[in-house]
Structure 1
Amino acid sequence: MIPPITTVTLNPAVDLTVTLDVLRPGKVHRANDALMTVGGKGINVAGCVADWGIPVIATGVLGRANESRFADFFTDKGIEDRFIRYPGETRTNIKLADLSTGTTTDINLPGLPFDAETQGRVVANLTREITPGALVVLAGSVPTGLPTSTWAALIADLNKLKVRVVLDTSGAPLAEALAAKPADLPYAIKPNRLELETYFGEPLKTEEAIVAAARQLASRGIELVVVSLGEQGAIFLRGDHVLAAKLPVVQALSTVGAGDAMVAGIATSLADNLSLEALARRAVAFATAKLGFIGPRLPEPDDVRAMARQVQIRDLSPTSGS
């Protein structure tokens, strides 16, 4: 049996997704629909992992005042709930889904601030019964009041326990994590193009530039670097092996959580010890399949497997001749 994958979300949210025919800034709109779902990157990852059928543990911090929606979600999905409850409300994020373009505009509110003692309880929950080789996904932003080095410090602690850490964050927390010495780096990262450009401080306009940036990160000691590119798919790099993977563009009900679904595809592939090509196929299929749903969920696994078989792969490795 595959050991559980653990996800950590320090800045969860209730996502209010409002569906519009066309989004026109500055105008009054009549919404087609509105749906409230649980959110936060690690929670989104956990939901997709659970739909795939691999055991998953979710931890982090939730506001006690509105925790029932999350508790119901964990129960429905069969996710082991190790979240700490803290006084106050988990934030609400507003997502404006434009059906005419298939894009989503995010309005993310500040997260629930909490104290160092609560953070310590999260770490205790995370490391309880953890075994060498276990997979831990650290995902999302760091709440106000916590240092930007929070993820970096946690990765260093987990690496001492021989845990494989998949990191999906951005901005200063990503920069802090990537500035660590080799022994304290994450096992895998999944920035998107904009996050990678922000980190390097320059535009990455070509595929060659993106691959070069990914190689630079891998050369520091990161085992797997994945750069998500939206409709253009993603770049996957492990050692000298580099792949570009994509599926044809589909009509998106909501783009929210597609990147998190890709992280879930990466984590489950690592749990299954897949080759880089099989990992790339699954990760892209997870992200594309998620576009048809609002909230952290996937279609049936057989449907995702069918999509994975259709993923277009290009080998960009130095010896591939491409």
Structure 2
Amino acid sequence: MNQHAAHVNVPGVAGSTAVVTVTVNPALDQTVCVNGLQTGAVNLGESLEFNAGGKGVNVASCLADYGLRTTVTGLLGRDDAQLFDALFASKRIDDRFVRVAGRPRINVKLVDLAHGQTTDINLASATPADADLLALEQAVLRLAAPGRWFVLAGSLPPGVDPGFYRRLTRTLRQAGARVALDTSGAPLTASLAPGLVPADDAASLPDLIKPNRAELEKLVGRALPDRTALEGAAAALLARGVACVVVSLGEDGAFGLQATPALNMPDATPHSTPAPTPQPATLAYAGFRASPLRVPVTSTVGAGDAFVAGLVASLIEGRAWPECGRRATAFAAGKLARVGPHLPSAAALDALAQQVHVETFVGSVQRAHGEA
């Protein structure tokens, strides 16, 4: 963990906070390491560790290690929240969580050290009160500012409308903020499915999404067996108004598409600009394909969240799109050697990034009907 990273202020980002992460459904991650897991048998545990978790918390922890000023918000049970308090204090993360009754849910992670595999057992959380959700929306709105990145990450608790992230995205983008969305299932569908998000409501779409192959297949309702099919599905999301689409492919790495001309991240302006000018019927995009690094694996938990942190950090820094893929892959590789949402030093991340193989490509797609 890079405990002594210097916090930086990024030009063009309002205020002293570069990133806000929103975790509606945080969790205490209980990680048990076993040297050769045998199901249906008695196993001797090598170690036991508890970490404050939830996708947005993991992203914030990695960003703080990297040196970016970060704020966290969401819904957090008052009971047994000490590990969250300690994490935020140790990494100087600005804590704006809405405290609610109860305790955070517990997720059990069984790490097989011999095979480099992790088995997740995620427990359900309690249904939040309507007043808690309203308090969270108000907290997010108070943090909204032109150019500021928000990462909406993770599942939603039982009983929460799947359209919650879509409404929050619309509010944030109208305030000029930028939104990265990393979720799955019904919340992802509610945020992106053409039948649920009208073509004339592009303001409800996030700037960046990072589904994996299975999540993208579920979203589009068909199998995506090869590179051509995957790129076509991602490009269709660009055509509808998502600026950046990155698809994680596990052992096959990741690829990402960015609409061009690329967003000028350091000199951000609000999305609520004057009347739009007519756009060409075809949208051009730039792409990268990043190969994963073969590194020793202690725990895969949170590697995807580290990848998202690397993407957002790189966009804030104004890196070229292929370099965003390179840096994000280095973030994920750096996290794999650690239990919990922590990164190595900046120098170690730089060294990892230099080892990442990245291919670039370009393409174009017909704009979705009704998009500006």
TM-score range, shorter chain: over 0.9
Aligned to 1:98: 112
Q: Which stretches in structure 2 are left out of the alignment for 5+ residues? A: 1-8, 11-16, 260-284, 365-372
Q: Is the 8 A contact 1:247 1:310 kept in 2?
A: no
Deviation at 1:317, TM superposition (A): 2.1
Aligned to 1:62: 76
Aligned to 1:313: 358
Q: Is the 8 A contact 1:11 1:112 kept in 2?
A: no
- 190-199 vs 252-261, which moves further: 190-199
Aligned to 2:324: 279
Secondary structure at the residue paired with 1:66?
coil
- 70-79 vs 202-211, which moves further: 202-211
Q: Which stretches in structure 1 are left out of the alignment for 5+ residues? A: none
**Which of 284, 302, 313 matches 1:268?**
313
**Which of 185, 190, 203 matches 2:223?**
203
Pairwise CA RMSD: 1.3
1:237 aligns with 2:237: no
TM-score by length of structure 2 reads 0.83
Question: Could you tell me how far apart the structure 2 residues matched to 1:265 and 1:104 are?
Answer: 22
Matches within 5 A, 1:155-234: 155-179=169-193, 180=197, 181-234=201-254
TM-score by length of structure 1 reads 0.96
Aligned to 1:297: 342
1:100-130 Cα shifts (integer Å, max 9, x gaps):
2212110000123211111111122222243
Secondary structure at the residue paired with 1:146?
coil
Deviation at 1:51, TM superposition (A): 0.2
Matches within 5 A, 1:52-131: 52-131=66-145
Q: Is the 8 A contact 2:302 2:335 kept in 1?
A: yes
Q: How many residues are paired up?
A: 319
Identity of aligned pairs, percent? 42
What is the one-letter code of the residue matched to 2:318?
Answer: N
1:268-289 Cα shifts (integer Å, max 9, x gaps):
1121121101111111110111
**Which of 45, 54, 58 matches 1:44?**
58
Question: Could you tell me how far apart the structure 2 residues matched to 1:227 and 1:70 are?
Answer: 29
What is the one-letter code of the residue matched to 2:247?
Answer: V
Aligned to 2:36: 22
Q: Is the 8 A contact 1:63 1:89 kept in 2?
A: yes
Aligned to 2:276: none
Aligned to 1:259: 304
Deviation at 1:209, TM superposition (A): 1.7
What is the one-letter code of the residue matched to 2:345?
Answer: E
Deviation at 1:184, TM superposition (A): 1.1
Question: Could you tell me how far apart the structure 1 residues matched to 2:126 and 2:331 are?
Answer: 29
Question: Could you tell me how far apart the structure 2 residues matched to 1:208 and 1:23 are?
Answer: 37
- 277-286 vs 175-184, which moves further: 175-184
Q: Is the 8 A contact 1:171 1:195 kept in 2?
A: yes
Secondary structure at the residue paired with 1:89?
coil
Matches within 5 A, 1:115-154: 115-154=129-168
Deviation at 1:78, TM superposition (A): 0.5
Question: Could you tell me how far apart the structure 2 residues matched to 1:252 and 1:194 are?
Answer: 23
What is the one-letter code of the residue matched to 2:174?
Answer: K
Structure 1 residue ranges (4+ consecutive) displaced by more than 3 angstroms after TM superposition: none
